[in-house]
Amino acid sequence: MSAVRRWAVEGGRTDLVRPAAATSPVEVATRRGSVRFDAARTAFVVVDMQNDFCHPGGWLASIGVDVSAARSAIGPINRLSPLLRSAGVPVLWLDWGTRADRVNLPPNVIHVYDPEGVGAGIGAAHADSPAVLEEGSWGAALVDELDVRDDDIRVSKHRMSGFWDTPLDSTLRTLGIDTVLFAGVNLDQCVYATLFDAACLGYDCILVEQASATTSPDFCVDATVYNVDQCFGFCVAAADLELALTTEGHH
């Protein structure tokens, strides 16, 4: 993991000079040429791989959504996570984790999941779950199949974008991160919104295809990939990133 920045204190002197970190370049093919990034200054941000979105017994499945497309990201994420950890890249799980009283959710966020105004969506009860995406609930937990480690980083979010009303930005900056690899669900919604804001904040953004998925129609995937590639960063195939990480010096 990237070294967390700390001041050195010794003999009454506080040293604010940080030693230069060793670089760990990784070069990977993208949709438009290759990209070289520094694994020592990179984070892997995985969005919303939660029971309510990805489990057959979760919220989306309970309202008739086929979650098999969302689950397709599990395998690529699991193949990449240990390789990235070995390369010194922190794995950060960014998930919905709302307050039980929902007081920090604006009406537009509540409405998008409850367009009929009947008390459904975020915070509502469904099936065997007491509250959709409530922090600490089964629905907000990561699906069991994921390779999650105790020293991975967890950040709860309360919007489509993971940067609003969360410590995501301060966490990445404290870790000295320049480049963010994005994965998870839904590609065209929370993944894209978080990547969009990351790009606006000045981060170098790389969308990992196949490790990102959505239950939306295919044209949503096409439009999102086009926009990321055209305006906000780069798109890499999960298999190509896996290959780059397994070359000599990165495994």
Q: Which residues are catalytic?
A: 48, 157, 190
Nearest Cα to 180, choosing from 73, 49, 35, 34? 35
Strand segments, DSSP code E, in the chain are 8-10, 13-15, 25-30, 33-38, 42-47, 91-96, 153-157, 179-184, 204-212, 234-237
Residue with tokens 């395998």: 75
Strands 13-15 and 8-10: antiparallel
Q: How far apart are CA 227 and CA 114, in angstroms?
A: 28
Which of left, alpha, beta for 92 (phi over 0: left; psi -120 to 50: alpha)?
A: beta
Question: How far separated are the first and last CA of the chain, in Å rounded?
Answer: 14
In degrees and rounded to multiples of 5, residue 225 shows phi and psi of: -60, -40
